[in-house]
Chains A and B, each alone.
Chain A
Amino acid sequence: MLADTYALGAATGVEGPLLFLKRTVNVGLNEAVEIEETEGPSRLGYVAALDHDVITVEVMDSTRGMSLADTRVRFHGERLQFSVGPDILGRVFDGVGRVIDGGPPVSATETFNIDGLAINPAMRASPTDFIETGISTIDIMNSLVRGQKLPIFSGSGLPHDELAIQIARQSRLRGSDVGEFAIVFAAIGVPFDTAERFRHAMESSGALEHTALFLNLASDSSTQRLLTPRYALTAAEYLAFVEGRHVLVIMTDMTNYCEALREVAASHGVVPSRKGFPGYMYSDLATIYERAGSIKGVPGSLTQLPILTMPSDDITHPIPDLTGYITEGQIVLDRILDRADIYPPVKVLPSLSRLMKDGTGENFTHPDHPALANQLYAAYARAVHVRVLASVVGREGLAGIDQLFLDFGDNFEQQLVHQKSARTLEQSMEAGWELLRVLPVSELTRLDDEQIKQYISAKPE
């Protein structure tokens, strides 16, 4: 469509985020609209339903102060688009891709539909490049690989932002082909200071010129939150698949996104599913998370690290539950560990990385890496089980072997989970072997005789 189309004074009603217009222009479904007012910035929306007489527009912004008479609606004739170019790095945008750092507008080289297109599963490259984050519990036990989507399940008040910042700063690829990297940060309904802390951390580490920030702050409209991750991911896709960079996308906080989704669904009169969230929340979240990946024959990759705060720390709540079904694992943070001053407070048992098997072991990290992770998991699970017993019968009531496991559990948390600075994979692995050495060999059933000989029996100097 060449020219934009306008409709002036066609509005017949406003209901929540929905604006009803007389169908005076011929527009198509899902096409973007801009609602222009005599003063103030325009509001974005899209055509949600159409019949012969009425256009239903969903306004992706607050409808406060909107009137029918002087509402002027501009139709774009296509979906919401975002114009991107190499300049977007180092810049700050609002939740709908408008520059807010006071600088000049970005010079765009390409324009993309913000919803993206589903990557053909036959064209996806299988992710196998191990990323070393410097965090032992992630590197050894829940390894992150390029192109993965690995969320952090956290709770309010837990140090998930620090962890995300640390990962963004420390992550490196082992081996020679490092390639160019970039970070895209999407703040979804977070307080100003969280966004500012992130910006500051990137600035102080000198990574700001590799970072694009998209800020939808807590004070911004909640319906706009549905667009923020889409703008951010469009930028990330451009950086990854057009410029060939390795992009890490950090999105915080996905819980706010889902709350906004519920709000909008309710105003549409959608039959609510669990806890009032719409039944299509799974599909909707998938359109965001599935944009991670890498493509055959294209150099870049898009890795996602979404953060969500579990309402009342409940992992069975629909938001973490549906997220866990879509993402390739999860890193769970724990309040009890946090209280014990263990940082990062990663609760390893419910944490998981599904792509770990493809990026660890021989040819990727270290041949004995998977066995070590397995043995640590088995031993720590047993320690947690013994802890439950000990809470009733006391340490004295335990068999000798169970007491060893009890100690193992405490040491594991103090020496492996807790860390003051980044560790290389080798340092992390050595810490893991060290912990296992206190256990009797007969209990280390996930290690083969060769590994026992090499790491457990023969204590290195």
Chain B
Amino acid sequence: MTHATINWISESVLRASTHRPFRVNETALVGHQQLLGEVIRIKGDEVIIQVYEDTTGLRPGDPVSGTGSELSVHLGPGLLGNIFDGLLRPLASQGVHVEPGAGRQPSAKTYPFKPSVVVGTRLTSGTVFGTVHRPDALAQHCLVPPDCEGEVVEISPAGEYTEDHPICTLRRPTGETCAIAMAHYWPVRQPRPIAEHLPTEGPLFTGQRILDSIFPLACGGRAAMPGGFGTGKTVLQETLAKWCDADVIVYVGCGERGNEMAGVLHEFPALEDTRRGRPLMERTVIIANTSNMPVAAREASIYTAVTVAEYFRDQGMRVALMADSTSRWAEALREISGRLGELPSEAGYPAYLSSRQADFYERAAHVRTLNGEVGSLSIIGAVSPPSADFSEPVTTHTKRYVRCFWALDATRAQARFYPAIHPLLSYSEDADVLNTFWKEHGNPSWPAQRRRFLTLLEKQARLERMARIVGKDALPPSQQQVLLSAELINEAFLRQSAFSAKDRFCSAERQIQMMNIISQFIDLSEAAIEQPVSVEAINQLPIMRRLRRMGEDIAEDEMKKFDQLRNDMLSEFTQLTRSAATNAS
């Protein structure tokens, strides 16, 4: 431990003088309350420390002690199903209010451990030495901490142990031994090591049509969803957390609303994971730094979350990290930078904003773990641009590092058209690698259908502009048909209610059925207007209402109804064209 004394303090930043060696990013305990802080700069005899908690009452002369280690979090089998603050201290065990100076108390809770190695096994860092299967969570691996390796000289038998109880002893090649427990510490700003990066394959399937079928995200990919307030970022993040096919969800509420966190805690235990039939909460870790909690901890919360996510990835799991919102994190950087008197760059943000964002998004990957398994970490970050202006620095820099861009649109949100993802402003660079997925699920024409949908939506935007000048009726029938088809794509396919029990999750099979039916409708209506049949007549077919509502009317286990719908559509069109032919003759 190294010591220093405070000689200047304002808000959450303090300067302290010392003759001892402090290191940058070292964790420090500040004042008599031992508030958590971090060394952010060193100048001669003076260290600058940012404090993660309320600094009321601190004064010059108060002691500061360095812990010698970087800001680290405690990773163990107790994480799943729980809620933590931005520094990974459990919130469930705290009182009504978040009080400063609450350290991490070692938990007395025990977990069932089963060894998977014997004395004499050689273990390297990141390999598995046992498993924990809590009755209320997924089976988890116990990993050798990344800085430790050697031969097993002692291993505890199967049984109940606390997270920090040493249960395995390794002898390093140098002869010294290290004792390891189920849980270990890892510095948050340092990415956890992996064996190798693998090329992405397969989607992170979300059950949301506009994402999976139009703007899909590959497993291990990076996506951003920017949108002004009220465009549905949080609901979409929560929907993804509920229905995406990851093994573990890490949900970080960074500078967001407390009531939203309460909502998640209230709702998730009651919802069932579609794949396992177990409560969703069992696969979820929530990290909450609400907007009224200290700003410095908000900056750290993003790193805490990604470190937790990497820990599960290293156990060979598919992990999805939902970060809501990365803009608040960027603002925390700006605030701290401002207090340090750094030269502001664009919009007051520090010049290193973009490299920090790059560091964060680069931690998403599809990898081979040190244990030889395949794991992935997908990052989905919400961005809250001021005034919904996508040209602001956080959004533009984010665009450089993500492969999927899901732009949320206020006009759609105001019409309660959710998810309010704007099809013409959004993109996915992962679409090409996902052809195989859709082919395997029985839709080889997915790329062509997707292209066709997007083209129609593009045309719709152009024609609407024209219709605004000449009136919709003045458009030729072929263009009116484009408008009708695009409207159907929007209403029947892209719109999906997160609160409808039947439609909140849409399986690949159902997405394919719906895409096929809509493609068929486009074909039929194109053929019909050649007859000629008026677009108005098509729009008045009774089938239109059923098509527009098929998402909400036909549930997952009623796939047969799609055949019925298709047959009815065919016969209504046949009748329509036949009567048109009769009228013509």
Contact = CB atoms under 8 A, between A and B. Distances in A.
Q: Do A and B come from one complex?
A: yes
Name the residue among A123, A298, A326 with the largest chain B CB count within 10 angstroms. Answer: A123
B229 A324 contact: yes
Interface string A371-401: 0011001100110000011001100011101
B97 A326 contact: no
B57 A30 contact: yes
A290 B289 CA distance: 12
A334 to B, nearest CB: 13
A450 to B, nearest CB: 11
Interface residues of B, number: 82
Contacts of A448: 549, 552-553
Interface string B213-253: 00000000000000011100010000000000000000001
Interface in B243-277: 253, 255, 257-263, 265-267
A31 interface: yes
Contacts of A118: 97-98, 258, 290, 292-293
Contacts of A381: 414-417
A328 interface: yes
A358 B258 contact: no
B258 A121 contact: yes
A123 to B, nearest CB: 5
B366 interface: no
B292 A350 contact: no
Interface string A266-308: 0000111110000110110011001111010010000000000
B263 A121 contact: no
A293 B258 contact: yes
Given A282-B291, A378-B417, A389-B472, A329 B230 contact: yes
Contacts of A355: 259
A438 interface: no
A147 B10 contact: no
A85 interface: no
A290 B293 CA distance: 10
A441 interface: yes
A430 interface: no
Contact of B258 (A31, A290, A325): A290
Contact of B230 (A272, A298, A316, A350): A350
A321 B229 contact: yes
A148 interface: yes
A2 interface: no
Interface stretch (B66-74, B119-127, B311-319, B384-392): B384-392
Contact of A29 (B58, B388, B542): B58
A352 B410 CA distance: 12
A154 interface: no
A52 interface: yes
B448 interface: no
B421 to A, nearest CB: 17
A31 B56 contact: yes
A270 B338 contact: yes
B10 A50 contact: yes
A379 to B, nearest CB: 9
Given A31-B57, A282-B328, A352-B230, A290 B8 contact: no
A3 interface: no
A126 B469 contact: no
B338 A271 contact: yes
A120 B96 contact: yes
Nearest to B417: A378
Interface in A132-163: 147-148
B95 interface: yes
B259 A392 contact: no
Interface in A180-234: none
Name the residue among B57, B92, B260, B417 with the largest chain A CB count within 10 angstroms. Answer: B57
Contacts of B259: 124, 126-127, 147-148, 292-293, 328, 355
Given A274-B386, A382-B415, A399-B473, A122 B348 contact: no
Given A79-B56, A271-B348, A117 B83 contact: no
A66 interface: no
B540 interface: yes
Interface in A28-72: 28-31, 48-52, 56
A79 B55 CA distance: 11
A263 interface: no
A292 B267 CA distance: 20
A129 B480 CA distance: 46
B331 A282 contact: yes
Contacts of B575: none
A321 to B, nearest CB: 5
Contact of B96 (A49, A123, A270): A123
A120 B97 contact: yes
Interface in B329-354: 331, 334-335, 338, 344, 347-348
A259 interface: no
Interface string A105-134: 000000000000111111111110000000
Given A29-B57, A448-B553, A50 B491 contact: no
Contacts of A123: 91, 94-96
B433 to A, nearest CB: 35
A358 B540 contact: no
A23 B59 CA distance: 11
B545 interface: yes
A125 B60 CA distance: 40
B544 interface: yes
A286 B384 CA distance: 15
Given A370-B499, A381-B415, A28 B255 contact: no
A308 B384 CA distance: 21
B60 A445 contact: no
B7 interface: yes
Given A28-B56, A118-B290, A122-B91, A326 B96 contact: no
A204 B331 CA distance: 46
A280 B295 contact: yes
A52 B92 CA distance: 40
Contacts of A48: 10
Interface string B288-307: 10111101000000000000
B348 A272 contact: yes
Contact of A389 (B98, B468, B491, B553): B468
B261 to A, nearest CB: 4
Interface in B168-188: none
B467 interface: yes
A117 B99 contact: yes
Contacts of B8: 49-52
A318 interface: yes
B335 A279 contact: yes
B425 interface: no
A373 B415 CA distance: 11
A321 B9 contact: no
Given A120-B97, A282-B291, A326 B7 contact: no
A441 B545 contact: yes
25 contacts: A29-B56, A30-B57, A49-B8, A49-B11, A119-B258, A120-B94, A120-B97, A122-B91, A122-B92, A126-B259, A126-B266, A127-B259, A127-B262, A271-B344, A279-B334, A282-B331, A283-B331, A326-B291, A370-B499, A381-B415, A381-B417, A388-B468, A392-B469, A445-B548, A448-B549
Given A127-B262, A280-B335, A352-B413, 5 more contacts: A27-B59, A51-B9, A123-B91, A147-B259, A328-B259
